[in-house]
């Protein structure tokens, strides 16, 4: 039986995008089950699959892994190249992935992910600006020390890139630019065929969740 990844709306579900990108880049076959979020049926549908009541969830029959970063870790057990091979690079990749998983609340709530929107405008409050500055510092440090001149944070695609993918789908719709590493990384990521496939699917979705349509 093929593994299944339960995800939310591709336009809005930033947490779902992370393990989806990791599995696609790792070449792991899976079926995706999309559960539209924040409609009356959502809670009951998610509960059928997810112990935490949230997506994403990775399932292999009765076995479930939940929490985006834990799913990425599980996928990396099968395809170790999802983490850098050098122990110090791997430790830093885990540090920035955990930092992303646990933080950046102002950016995540003020600039909600919107895969298909363009030309939105949200004021960069001091809190949002601080998050953007910290992300810029992380991307610059990782690419300078470990990027090996490639498009990704640690040379080849890693869990760290999967964790920051949804940031790209925040910077693009709200026009967040920073000359240099940030703009370069965003452009590289936007050219990724897997991210493009996700965006194409988001463009086909018909649900509009007003609470996430900010900056119009």
Q: Would you count residue 108 as binding ligand GSH (CB under 6 A)? A: no
Q: Which stretch binds ligand GSH (CB under 6 A): 12-20, 135-143, 162-170, 196-204?
A: 12-20
Q: Would you count residue 67 as binding ligand GSH (CB under 6 A)? A: yes
Q: Would you count residue 15 as binding ligand GSH (CB under 6 A)? A: yes
DSSP-assigned states of every residue in 19-64? HHHHHHHHT---EEEE--SSSTTHHHHHHHH-TTS-S-EEEETTEE
Residues 6+ apart with CB under 8 A from 110: 122, 125, 127, 128, 214
Contact (CB, 8 A) for 208 and 8: no
Q: Would you count residue 56 as binding ligand GSH (CB under 6 A)? A: yes
Q: Would you count residue 165 as binding ligand GSH (CB under 6 A)? A: no
Of 6, 26, 37, 93, which one interacts with ligand GSH (CB under 6 A)?
A: 37
Of 11, 26, 68, 194, which one interacts with ligand GSH (CB under 6 A)?
A: 68
b/e per residue, 75-90, with b = 16+ CB within 10 A?
Answer: bbeeeeebbbeeeebb
3-state secondary structure (DSSP) of residue 123 = coil
Contact (CB, 8 A) for 72 and 22: yes
Q: Which stretch binds ligand GSH (CB under 6 A): 26-34, 49-57, 84-92, 176-184?
A: 49-57
Q: Would you count residue 166 as binding ligand GSH (CB under 6 A)? A: no
Q: Would you count residue 32 as binding ligand GSH (CB under 6 A)? A: no
Residues that bind ligand GSH (CB under 6 A): 8, 13-16, 37, 42-43, 54-56, 67-68, 101
């Amino acid at each position: 039986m093929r593994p299944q990844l339960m995800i939310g709306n591709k336009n809005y579900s930033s947490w779902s995008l992370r393990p989806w990108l990791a599995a696609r880049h790792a070449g792991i076959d899976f079926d995706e089950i999309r559960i539209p979020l924040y409609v009356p049926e959502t809670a009951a549908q998610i509960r059928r699959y997810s112990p935490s009541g949230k997506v994403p969830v990775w399932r292999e029959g009765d076995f479930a892994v939940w929490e985006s970063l834990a799913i990425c870790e599980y996928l990396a057990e099968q395809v170790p190249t999802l983490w850098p091979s050098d122990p110090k690079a791997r430790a830093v990749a885990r540090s920035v992935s955990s930092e992303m998983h646990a933080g950046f609340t102002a950016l995540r709530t003020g600039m909600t992910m919107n895969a298909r929107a363009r030309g939105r405008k949200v004021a960069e409050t001091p809190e949002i600006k601080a998050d953007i500055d910290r992300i810029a510092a992380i991307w610059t440090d990782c690419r300078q020390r470990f990027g090996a001149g490639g498009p990704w944070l640690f040379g080849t695609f890693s869990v760290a890139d999967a964790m920051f993918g949804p940031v790209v789908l925040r910077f693009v719709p709200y026009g967040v630019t920073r000359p240099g590493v940030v703009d370069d990384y965003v452009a590289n990521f936007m050219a990724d065929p897997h991210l493009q496939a996700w965006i194409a699917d988001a463009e086909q979705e018909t649900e509009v969740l007003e609470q996430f349509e900010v900056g119009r």
